[in-house]
A = this chain, B = another copy of it.
Amino acid sequence: MAGVDRSRRKLLQTAAAGGLGAGLATSFGAVAPARAEGVEGTRAREGAEGGAEGSVRVAVLLYDGFTALDAVGPYEVLCRVPGVTVTMVAERAGRVRTDTGELGLVAERSLDSVARADVLLVPGGVERGTTATMANTVVLDWIRRIHRGSTWTTSVCTGSLILGAAGLLRGVPATTYWASRPYLADAGAIYTPGRFVEAGKILTGAGVSAGIDMGLHLAARLSDERTAQAMQLAVEYDPDPPFDTGSPEKAGPELQQLALKLIADAVR
Which residues of chain A have a CB within 8 Å of any CB of chain B? 3-5, 7-12, 14-20, 22-23, 26, 28, 42-43, 45-48, 65, 67-69, 72-73, 75-76, 79-82, 85-88, 95, 97, 100-106, 108, 126-128, 131-132, 157, 177-183, 195, 206-210, 212-213, 216-217, 220, 225-243, 245-248, 250-251, 253, 255-268
Contacts and interface: CB of A to CB of B under 8 A. Distances in A.
A180 B4 CA distance: 11
Contact of A127 (B11, B101, B180, B258): B11
Given A28-B95, A241-B239, A267 B22 contact: yes
Q: How many copies does the complex hold?
A: 2
B105 A104 contact: yes
A2 B28 CA distance: 49
A246 B238 contact: yes
A236 B246 contact: yes
Contact of A82 (B217, B253, B265): B265
A231 B262 CA distance: 8
A232 B241 contact: yes
B247 A230 contact: no
B127 A15 contact: yes
Contacts of A47: 265
Contacts of A235: 69, 207-209, 246
Given A26-B101, A251-B233, A179 B8 contact: yes
Contacts of A48: 261-262, 265
A239 B246 contact: yes
B258 A242 contact: no
Contacts of A268: 18-19, 22-23, 45-46
A239 B213 contact: yes
Given A23-B267, A97-B28, A15 B262 contact: no
B233 A45 contact: no
Contacts of A225: 243
B106 A105 contact: yes
Contacts of A12: 127, 131, 179-180, 183
Contacts of A127: 11-12, 15-16, 19
A69 to B, nearest CB: 4
